C-alpha cells in the first residue's frame, strides 16, 4: 500500500481548519481506502496517531492506535469532546514536527463522541496516553500544533532546528 506524505511544520497547510465529514460517505471506498492508507502511514512512521490534516486532507477525522502491537486501530470521524476532567503532563511528539518532544498539559480524562469506520456513532472514555493522543489529534483538525503550547522562544528554536534539518536532508 502506498504511504501518504506527511506535512511538516511550519507548512501553512497544517493551519487549515478541517471541515466536518459527510458521515453518509464514511463507509464508501474513498474513505475506507484513506483510513487504510493513514494507518499504514502512521504505523510506518512509526506513530500512535495521525490526523487527516497532516496528510493534506482537510476533513475532520483521525486514526489512532496506542497499543504496542498494532492491535487497537481506532478511527474517529467528526470527534467531539463531551467531558474533560483533571490535568496531566505528557511529553508529546508529532509526525509533523519530527525529532521534537516537549511537555504539554492536557485534560487527564475525557469522554469523546465520534463516528467509527463502520459509520456508527460511539462514545469512549479515555485516560492516559489515549486521552493525550485524542486531544493532540483533534488539535490538528483545528489547525493547531503541540508546539503552539510552548513559549515563543522555544517555538522559534524548534522552527530553526527543523529548518536546519530540512536543509541537510
Active-site annotation, residues: 137
**Least Å from the CB of residue 123 to Ni ion:** 23
**Least Å from the CB of residue 54 to Ni ion:** 6
Between 23 and 81, name the residue whose CB sits nearer to Ni ion.
81
Between 55 and 94, name the residue whose CB sits nearer to Ni ion.
94
Compute CA distances 95 → 46, 117, 124, 158, whole Å: 8, 23, 24, 14
Contact between 48 and 64 under an 8 Å Cβ cutoff? The reply is yes
Q: Which residues bind Ni ion (CB under 5 A)?
A: 94
Q: Write the DSSP assignment of 89-140 as a string of letters.
A: EEEE--TTSTT--EEEEE-SEEEEEEE-TTS-EEEEEEEHHHHHHHHHHHHH
- The residue of the chain with the least Cβ separation from Ni ion equals 94
Between 7 and 26, name the residue whose CB sits nearer to Ni ion.
7
**Least Å from the CB of residue 126 to Ni ion:** 17
Amino acid at each position: 500500500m502506498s504511504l501518504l506524505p506527511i506535512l511538516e511544520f511550519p507548512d501553512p497547510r497544517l493551519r487549515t481548519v478541517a471541515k466536518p465529514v459527510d458521515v453518509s460517505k464514511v463507509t464508501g471506498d474513498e474513505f475506507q481506502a484513506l483510513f487504510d492508507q493513514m494507518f499504514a502511514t502512521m504505523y510506518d512512521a512509526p506513530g500512535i496517531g495521525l490526523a487527516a490534516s497532516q496528510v493534506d486532507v482537510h476533513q475532520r477525522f483521525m486514526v489512532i492506535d496506542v497499543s504496542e502491537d498494532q492491535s487497537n486501530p481506532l478511527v474517529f470521524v467528526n470527534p467531539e469532546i463531551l467531558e474533560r476532567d483533571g490535568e496531566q503532563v505528557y511529553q508529546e511528539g508529532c509526525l509533523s514536527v519530527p525529532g521534537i518532544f516537549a511537555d504539554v498539559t492536557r485534560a487527564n480524562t475525557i469522554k469523546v463522541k465520534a463516528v467509527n469506520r463502520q459509520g456508527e456513532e460511539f462514545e469512549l472514555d479515555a485516560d492516559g496516553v489515549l486521552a493525550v493522543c485524542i486531544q493532540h489529534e483533534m488539535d490538528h483538525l483545528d489547525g493547531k500544533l503541540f508546539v503552539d503550547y510552548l513559549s515563543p522562544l522555544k517555538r522559534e528554536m524548534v522552527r530553526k532546528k527543523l529548518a536546519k534539518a530540512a536543509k541537510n536532508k
